[in-house]
Structure 1
Amino acid sequence: MMTLDTFENTKRTVTLQNVDSSVLQDLVNFMYSGEISITSANVQSLLVAADMMQSFYSIKHHPTFDFKFKLDYYKLLVTENNEIYLLGGIFYDDYHFESGGGVAKADVFVYSQQNNRWQDCAPMDIPKCAFGACYFEGKIFAFGGYTFYPGHPPLDNVAVYDTSLDVWGDCDSMPIGIAHQATTVFRNSAFLFGGIDADGQCLNTILQYHFEQDRWSLVSAEMPVPRSEASAFVNDNCIIILGGSNNTGGIASVSVFNVDRLRWSYAADFPEQRKFTSICQGDGCLYVCGGVRQSSARPGLLRASRRVEMKDLYKYDLVQDEWTKVIRLVEHGSSFSCIYASVNCKFLKESEKEAYAVESS
């Protein structure tokens, strides 16, 4: 058996039961090269085999945080150099059990593949959770969000982080305070879709922030329906909006905004209505991980409706306009954020801390 350290290990062995020969060949190639091709046909077998090999010292879990509580409403961003940044958020216990709401986090971390750990960066000047964020030309922009949550109005503050200098600054404030907005970069501007205002109402507005001029404008075209907690992605000359909810419940429809023509169209609906879905884009597809589904009570039963946390992974083909379920169970399925980045598997090592996972491909 060969390990990622590229020498044969005869003292430690692991038994692989009912593993297909092609999957075994993929694992051997991975141990030599640190690269592996994961497809819908082999992903389940690879996950099973990898689980068997967790005791093998060169097959490790992703490094974790030593957080005392679960972190919610944070943001993950990836740079063109595949640097992964985690910003802000709020501890679950703080905003669920503290009277008057909890205080958001100002912490910022960047993941170092080579050092196999999350490194501290300069914290945000103003703590934020449930905010919009994007990356553009070496800088990270954080729009609005909450400093205290829940029961407090959202911010109109815009903060900018220089990734090379590790310093924060301020930009022109938003026209109004917004939280839970969908944010993406199209050409030389950031577009913010929907969100929640100070009255707790979902919005259907589109705000455009011009990076070079440091100014805001209101796009004349409104969203088809108010939407918050959604995700936005660029595909050619369009921006795709999916996931999220409004004051009536979860939204399954996928809206497509043509920026040049200021017109909306629809793509294939997501198979289920879910809130807080984790969505990322890569390799010509969108991936939806987890989320929360509201399960309604059956007529005649006394049981109230309940929230069901999903753990599956769906893929949306941007060309074929169709959804497929890729994985039935994701062990660390997140309801708030996931990212797509190129990771050198040779750098992955084990962390002994309590699992807090960042989903990446």
Structure 2
Amino acid sequence: MGRSPKHRSTIMYLLFVCLGLFGTFLVADLFWASSSSYKSNWPTSPQLNPNLENLDHNASHKIGGVFENPKKEKPVRLLSATFADLPAPQLEWEKMATSPVPRLDGAALQINDLLFVFAGYGTIDLVHSHVDIYNFTDNTWGGRFDMPKEMAHSHLGMVTDGRYIYVVTGQYGPQCRGPTARNFVLDTQTKQWQDLPPLPVPRYAPATQLWRGRLHVMGGSKENRHTPGLEHWSLAVKDGKALEKEWRTEIPIPRGGPHRACVVANDRLYVIGGQEGDFMAKPGSPIFKCSRRNEVVYADVYMLDDEMKWKVLPPMPKPDSHIEFAWHIVNNSIVIVGGTTDKHPETKKMTLVGEVFQFQLDNLKWSVVGKLPFRVKTTLVGFWNGWLYFTSGQRDKGPDDPSPRKVIGEVWRTKLSL
């Protein structure tokens, strides 16, 4: 039986309504999808993070910030695309005997198989005033002894000739207290301290080295802890004694600031990395409470040679600061461990460094030779029998958060072949 024209028109009307609703749904869905793609502040494309190229996507177990592969392949760290960690080989790190105390902004120098570890913050309100000694051969700590009461507790300049350790200026006390111009020398065999002539003015964390019979001190921060210093002085020294009563003015460093590596190799003086600016004491604070100021971290490398003119060398792979005792000479190259780099672009928090860098002295080329077990700043480095060691400093909050958190006293080592 045929349907009436009225019935057919009703069916056609319902069909057009359904098609209209379906089309409206498709348009709304496309609009939502296109707009939602802009909701994320940080892109997560693997192309923005070279480390993701080495990630084993079959990894299923996370242990201590490291993803462990069920096939027992070497674990790799999962890094957020937010942060600019550089691609680097994995190194196998072994945890050794922990230091008696945690340290931040301390100092350390190696003499044979002993690492002399000085001062530093325990917390922002507590500073150490003693020396601990780590024995690379025995993996033991011992031989603790006190520093002079007048000696700075952090941000020290320091260098050794193989027996005597020369200690220059630095910050006296916790929080962001003022610097001292007092200098000292330690006889590591007798554990006796002697005075050295004071610097013309105090400095925080100046670059310090022994070069051609003279103790060189340059850069650092001025008395307000923030303004970069450009001055460069030297003092003739021998066998732990000053041969002059006053410091001699030398050629100023091209760029001032603290927290740099300062190295003598092949009769050349190198100054590497560092920053301009630092925390300052909050005005009127009775405890000199630290207050953040703008900082600029840089990758600059400068060198002095026979011409006594500063030469600009190839920069580090990334800006790096807080590395004054985080280096060692290994097979005619300078190895630098950790540090701090540019602040996080959104949170403005300090960003720690988790790479091991190598600067080859024969061809003046930089490379990234490994990753640390975590990012860390102001760590203290030694090298013995093919093993690279680091201890102390301040580590990151985790593999996906490079901002600083815990002050540590751990000792780690890895076999390093360069």
Return the letter of the residue paired with 1:240: Y
State the 1:293 CA deviation.
2.0
Shift of 1:274: 2.4
The aligned counterpart of 1:342 is 384
Distance 1:109 1:339 in 2: 14
Which residue is equivalent to 2:298?
251
C-alpha displacement of 1:108: 0.5
Question: 1:220–1:190: structure 2 CA closer, same or farther, 3 Å change rule?
Answer: closer
Between the aligned partners of 1:174 and 1:75, the Cα distance in structure 2 is: 19
Matches within 5 A, 1:66-77: 66-67=100-101, 70-77=102-109
Deviations 1:45-84 (A, max 9, x none): x72xxx7xxxxxxxx63211243xx4111111012x2321
Aligned-pair CA distance for 1:115:
4.0
- The letter of the residue matching 2:333 is C
Structure 1 position 309 matched with structure 2 position 352: yes
The structure whose Rg is larger is 2
1:89 partnered with 2:138: no
Q: Helix, strand or coil for the counterpart of 1:255? A: strand
For the residues of structure 2 that align with 1:355 and 1:199, how far apart are their CA atoms? 29
CA deviations 1:164-199 (Å, max 9, x no partner) are: 112222222221111211111112221112111213
Using the TM superposition, name which of 111-120 and 149-158 deviates more.
Answer: 111-120
**Backbone CA RMSD of aligned residues:** 2.7
2:251: which partner in 1?
A: 221
Partner Cα separation in structure 2 for residue 196 and residue 103 of structure 1:
22
Q: Distance in 2 between matches of 1:242 and 1:174?
A: 22
In the alignment, the residues of structure 2 paired with residue 263 and residue 217 of structure 1 have an alpha-carbon distance, to the nearest angstrom, of 19
Does 1:295 find its partner at 2:337?
no
**1:230 counterpart = 2:260:** yes
Q: Normalization by structure 1: what TM-score? A: 0.72
4+ aligned runs moved over 6 Å, structure 1: none
Cα offset, 1:204, TM superposition: 0.8
Give the structure 2 partner of residue 263 of structure 1.
309
Percent of aligned positions that are identical: 14
Q: Any unmatched runs of 5+ in structure 2?
A: 1-69, 75-87, 278-294, 388-407
Whether contact under 8 Å (2:317, 2:367) holds in the other structure is no
Structure 2 CA distance for aligned equivalents of residues 133 and 355 of structure 1: 20
Corresponding residue of 1:110:
133
Distance in 1 between residues matched to 2:409 and 2:144, nearest whole Å: 21
Alignment of 1:136-151 (within 5 A): 136-151=161-176
The whole-number CA distance in structure 1 between the counterparts of 2:318 and 2:200 is 34
Alignment partners' CA distance in 2, 1:294 and 1:218 = 35
* 1:65/1:160 CA distance change after superposition, 3 Å: same
Once the two structures are superposed, residues 101-141 of structure 1 have per-residue CA deviations (whole angstroms, 9 ceiling, x without a partner) of x3531110122245431113321113521111111251111
8 Å CA contact retained: 1:339, 1:359: no
Alignment of 1:180 onto 2:212: no
Contact 2:205 2:221 in 1 (8 A): yes
1:62 to 1:214, Cα distance in 2 relative to 1, 3 A: farther
Question: Which residue of structure 2 aligns with residue 207 of structure 1?
Answer: 233
**Contact 2:95–2:412 (CA under 8 A) maintained in structure 1:** no
Q: Distance in 1 between matches of 2:331 and 2:131?
A: 27
The aligned length equals 287
CA contact (8 A) 2:337 2:356 kept: yes
Q: Which residue of 2 aligns with 1:284?
A: 332
Among 166, 173, 192, the alignment partner of 2:191 is 166
Could you list the runs of 5+ residues in structure 1 that have no partner in the other structure? Answer: 1-14, 20-41, 52-59, 96-101, 298-302, 346-353
What amino acid sits opposite 1:110 in the alignment? I
Distance in 2, Cα, partners of 1:305 & 1:270:
22
Q: In structure 2, do the counterparts of structure 1 residues 355 and 240 end up closer, same or farther at CA, with 3 Å as the change threshold?
A: closer
